[in-house]
Amino acid sequence: MDIKKLQALVVDALEDVKGQDIVLFDTTGLTSLFDRIAIVSGTSNRQTRALASSVRDKVKEAGGDVVGIEGEDTGEWVLVDLGDMIVHIMQAPIRAYYRLEEIWGEKPVKLGAAKRKSTAEGKAAADAEAAPKKKSGHLATNKVAKAAEAVIEKKAPAARKPGTAKATAAAGAAAKKAAVKKTPAVVAPEGKKVKVAVSKTATASAKAAKAEKAKSAAKASEAPVKTVIKRIKKPAAE
């Protein structure tokens, strides 16, 4: 059986029984005894045995050879020998103690590539990996360099000679523009007083007060003058 098809069957069988932390390594550069090694964790003796049985049944159904199974009596570490591939089904404490990943984990195999075309998920994963990846436009390395464009420099207008009609008109226009611009605020030096123009409101109030005063004076002048009559005492008769 093709090694890629075999590894796809093993991964599917382990996932069917909810195997935990499945890893797959290519060992062709480390040993000539087998080409792949798979390591998976089980939570109990019962699950490790079920994982081994699932792998055995899947491979046999596909026409593959199962050389042997070891460790089913205890269930702590079950080894399934498939000839070109070895499957280690271990409980978490045993796996942490022996650390097989450090021995065989030089060249890991992605599970998406391991499934290949044996299932619909594997086909979708293979198609996704084969499809060209979109390049991000915001990265400078992915941007296509544009050809340099020629820059045309604009010449500054020639200065007009003084005394001509055009020069006079230009000077007048420049003076108008300068007059339109706001003059900067003048900051008085320290220690000096600055005269501030009286506001329109204050001026209007002063005019109104002045007019009211004049009106009162006019009314006073128009009032009738009171005539004072003095009584003369007559001398007493003798």
Average pLDDT, 10 consecutive residues per value, the chain (238 residues)? 92 95 94 94 95 95 94 94 95 95 92 58 54 53 56 57 58 62 53 60 77 74 58 58
Task: Tell me if 189 is assigned to some domain.
Answer: no
Radius of gyration of the chain (CA): 53
Q: Does residue 204 sit within a domain?
A: no
228 within domain boundaries: no
Classify residue 232: in a domain, yes or no.
Answer: no
Residue 84 carries which DSSP code? S
Which amino acid is residue 177, in one-letter code?
K
Question: What is the CATH number for 22?
Answer: 3.30.460.10
111 lies in a domain?
yes
Identity of the amino acid at 71? G
pTM value is 0.50
Q: Is residue 131 part of a domain?
A: no
Range of the domain at 55: 3-126
Contact 37, 86 (CB under 8 A): yes
| Total number of domains in the chain | 1
Query: Please, how many CA atoms are within 13 Å of residue 13, restricted to the half-sphere of its CB?
Result: 26
pLDDT for res 164: 57
By the 8 A CB rule, do 169 and 162 touch?
A: no
Torsions phi, psi of 17, nearest 5?
A: -105, 20
Within a domain: 98: yes
Question: Can you state the angle between helices 3-16 and 45-61, rounded to 10 degrees?
Answer: 140
Query: Would residue 93 count as lying in a domain?
Result: yes
CA-to-CA distance for 76 and 41, rounded, in angstroms? 10
Q: How far apart, in whole angstroms, are the C-alpha atoms of residue 87 and residue 82?
A: 8
